[in-house]
Chains A and B, each alone.
Chain A
Amino acid sequence: MRHLLSAGDLDLTEALLVLDTAEQLDRAIAGRDVKKLPTLRGRTVVNLFYEDSTRTRTSFELAAKRLSADVINFSAKGSSVAKGESLKDTALSLEAMGADAVVARHWASGAPERLTSWVRGSVINAGDGTHEHPTQALLDAFTMRRRLRGGEGDLEGLHVAIVGDVLHSRVARSNTLLLRTLGARVTLVAPPTLLPLGVERMFGDPVDVSYDLDSVLPTADVVMMLRVQSERMAESFFPSAREYSRRYGLDVRRMGLLPDHAIVMHPGPMNRGMEIAADVADHPKRSTIVEQVTNGVSVRMAVLYLLLGGAE
């Protein structure tokens, strides 16, 4: 594996390798006073961010630093065409500086894949447009495995409901791909306007889709709430925040429909009161939202390690 562009790039063996490596690295770090491993000393990781995302950038930065890599943050906001340097020229510059890995966040779907034709180093997709965000899917699977499967093996038989703005969500696409690889069953839940046309066949084998959250919750082991941007209202994807919240928000009543063991996830940042009620987000037993952030660092360490160090 040279790049990580899509969660679909990983077969079951590779996906388990990433998750198992993340567990090992997590344990190796946990036992140390100085939370740092020497594994990637002398390697250079560039965080190339065309979109603001303090959370993802910080997580990658921490992951790289914990493996002793040198980290450069390169923020290039806006359209490459409208303003300044082209994506290709930026890529060639990074290549000339000797980047071993480029962690790319971009507003345009497919931009990280375009980068791979111009740089020799590994490209890691840290979220591209409305396409994918594979490390988010990995940290989500890691979290589910720890909570529900004792931190090992696959996710065979698990039922995961992904709820919200699937149309614009890179998290939903990556999660659907990875969870299916790991043996889980995914149901996408959204108002029809927020599902892409062709969603049922978008990954070949049919994807389960529902417009009715209440009917899905009683069999869900995991419910993953997606961020819904309120500006979608202006484009008539739904009439109002209130109506959205009533029909698709996870409140305390709906949480009560879940089986006892079920967990509640959210990739952040949350709109409290919109797609998720505060009492649900902060629920001590079910909510994994803070854990997901912690696990993100371990999973990204594993990805960097396997792409940069594991090959040697």
Chain B
Amino acid sequence: MILIRGARPYGEDAVDVLIADGAIAAIGAPGSVAVPDDAQIVEADGLILLPGFVDVHTHLREPGREDAETVATGSAAAALGGYTAVFAMPNTEPATDTAGVVEQVWRLGSQIGLVDVIPIGAVTVGRKGERLAELGAMADSAARTTMFSDDGSCVSDPSLMRRALEYVKAFDGVVAQHAEEHKLTVDAQMNEGAVSARLGLKGWPAVAEEAIIARDALLAGHVGSRLHVCHVSTAGSVDILRWAKAKGWDVTAEVTPHHLLLTDDRAEGYDPLFKVNPPLRTAADVEALREALADGTIDCVATDHAPHSTEDKETEWAAAPPGMLGLQTALSVVVQTMVQTGKLDWRGVADRMSVAPARIGRIDGVPSSDGGPAGPNGGHGQPIEVGRAANLVLIDPDATWLVAPSELASKSRNTPFAGFTLPARVIATFLRGTPTVLDGALAATAGATA
């Protein structure tokens, strides 16, 4: 049993929270909750209590690129970032496109036990965009995969995309599209605009993203399916999403922390740490993304945590792979860009980083081991109330910290925020009542037992 003392749920009045058997057993005014003798006390005076974060867009690199990240190191980074569930993108080697591979990733995650790892299945065989992978088999597997994406590549063929959107309706699945019209982005290196013109780097035009989002929204509306749009990066995409939602279509979207903070002029200096796909955009895009996240046009924050080895990044800009670390800095960037600017309160943060992504990924139901709708992955993004699964995070809102790449838990070092002083720290994370992080470090008892 654990007693969290003096925490402020959603930044509101302080309470004591008793956790027993993986769930919230009691909530009461400070001092009012009876403390069992064997309870572990977690002092949380002044700390904010939120439901554990959910990331619908993480790259864990296993299998295939264990030199860059593993399920174990990525899980540690996730727990330290306040996450209790992460969705692992399928651009592994081999691609996560069969029931066997999704189960392998899922089992690895549950053995490690720091965070629920829910594999995202590839939409097409080998992520080649040619024919559907066995989506139903992945949904029926132990991993209960219902989110599908060819992330890193766009499902370009409009007919294939339509079929994918339709097919996953049978198991309440969702296609998460990496929106990029590849014919407009051949060899593209950064946002197309004045900065790319000056730097002589080939431009990645906003329209290449917007055209696909518009097409897919129309397709989703046409066939009545659910569409999720990955890493929205432009003001124009926001306009299209707003329009699609106004139509009543079931379209959701995510934005990354880096697109909420950084702009394309970071490419000056040609340091590939700032190379990412979709690329960093302009200040006007950043502002539009913040507004869209605030008003719900963009539903959630997703990290697109993309570890790359130092040797892959320490090279010419054009030779480097795109991608940035994100799990351990996400909350801090959201606080800086959304909370400190008055665009979101702590309930808003809970919604965009936990409630909404859990709903999109369908892990907000009651967990069950016997094939219930949420499968084994449920219980995330829940309100903080008695009886709910104790997936929780404690945050120090007043802390600041200096981002030092070597101190991050990820196996890779490619954070674009190295040297930044960021606000807010994760102090503790609880996965079904078990502390995975305490005092800002991995809990000694964490993992393996969960």
Contact = CB atoms under 8 A, between A and B. Distances in A.
Contact of B316 (A111, A132, A170): A111
A199 B199 CA distance: 11
Contacts, number: 79
A215 to B, nearest CB: 23
A173 B197 CA distance: 9
A202 B316 contact: no
Interface stretch (B91-99, B173-181, B188-196): B188-196
A201 B200 contact: no
A117 B369 CA distance: 54
A198 interface: yes
Contacts of B195: 198, 202
Interface size class of B (residues with CB under 8 A): 20 to 34
B297 to A, nearest CB: 26
Contacts of B316: 80, 87, 106, 108, 110-111, 114
Contacts of A170: 200
Contact of A79 (B196, B198, B203, B319): B319
A197 B193 contact: yes
Contact of B270 (A107, A110, A130): A110
Interface in A104-126: 106-111, 113-114
A34 to B, nearest CB: 40
Interface residues of A, number: 28
B38 interface: no
B200 A128 contact: yes
B270 A197 contact: no
B315 interface: yes
Contacts of A311: none
A129 B198 contact: no
Question: For chain A, what secondary structure do more than half of its interface residues adopt (helix, strand, loop), or is it mixed?
Answer: loop
B194 A202 contact: yes
Contacts of A130: 200-202
Contact of B203 (A86, A107, A197): A197
A98 B251 CA distance: 59
B205 interface: yes
Given A170-B200, A197-B203, A198-B196, A88 B315 contact: yes
Given A81-B315, A86-B314, A109 B201 contact: yes
B311 interface: yes
A197 B203 CA distance: 8
A107 B202 CA distance: 13
Nearest to A8: B198
B169 to A, nearest CB: 40
A269 interface: no
A309 interface: no
Given A201-B194, A203-B198, A110 B317 contact: yes
A109 B311 CA distance: 19
16 contacts: A80-B315, A107-B318, A108-B317, A109-B201, A110-B200, A110-B269, A110-B270, A114-B270, A129-B318, A130-B200, A197-B197, A197-B205, A198-B196, A201-B194, A202-B195, A202-B197
Interface of B: 189, 192-203, 205, 269-271, 311-312, 314-319
The 4 closest A-B pairs by CB, nearest first: A110-B270, A131-B200, A196-B197, A108-B316
